[in-house]
Amino acid sequence: MDNEDKENKKDGIISRRYFLESIGVGAIGVAVAGSIALTGEYLSPNVLKEPPTKFKAGLPENYSPGSTTLNKEQKVYIMRAKEGYFYALSAVCTHLGCITNWKSEEGIIACPCHGSKFNTEGKKIAGPAPRPLQRFLMTLDEHGQLVVDKSIIVGEEVILKASINKG
């Protein structure tokens, strides 16, 4: 191999064989790299048939003050505080992604998988969860309906003060 290399590059001149071999190996290399890149792209789906991140949660008057309502499909709690304001808590446990349950008799949110417990503010009371439950942005649309956007995570200071106008 060493001798061949020396012959190939004698006096800085590249032999015909070395030149053609390089083109061939290079072309195969490009084809392999391209097919690896394309296969990688293929494995990552472009369209996801998952539920949209933004959803309507109905009119504010459907929720009584001091209530916790789980939207099972969206995995979100619509929380209404005793004072009347709204906030949306993720029902996905921050530990390993199980869906938590609302325990109305104890007034806490509990995860069935590994025993994490949260209060109605989403703060951890017990268990392995590393963070409080996420809060999503909640707004009112032009028809006065509650809208939750799961793509926007907000801090606990963000609340929705909904005034109920009947009639």
The site for another protein (CB under 8 A) is made up of: 43-45, 48-50, 96-98, 113
Alpha carbon 56 to its chain centroid, in Å, reads 19
> Nearer to another protein by C-beta: 16 or 49?
49
Q: Toward another protein, which CB reaches closer, 148 or 162?
A: 148
Cβ proximity to another protein: between 59 and 113 the closer is 113
The CB-of-138 to another protein minimum distance in angstroms stands at 21
Find all residues with CB under 8 Å of 37, minimum gap 6, and list them: none
Of residues 81 and 98, the one with the C-beta less far from another protein: 98
- Of the candidates 86, 102, 100, 97, which has an alpha carbon nearest to the alpha carbon of residue 135? 86
Quote the least distance from Cβ 75 to another protein, whole Å: 9
List CB contacts of 73: < 8 A, sequence separation 6 or more.
51
Q: Give least dist CB 44 to another protein, A.
A: 6
From 118, 116, 138, 142, select the one nearest 129 (Cα to Cα). 116
Taking the complex as a whole, how short is the minimal distance between the CB of residue 13 and another protein, in angstroms?
43
Rounded distance between C-alpha atoms, residue 25 and residue 94, angstroms = 50
The minimum distance between CB 82 and another protein, in angstroms, equals 33
Residue nearer to another protein on the CB measure, 44 or 163:
44
Encoded amino acid at 49, one letter: K
d(CA 129, CA 151): 21
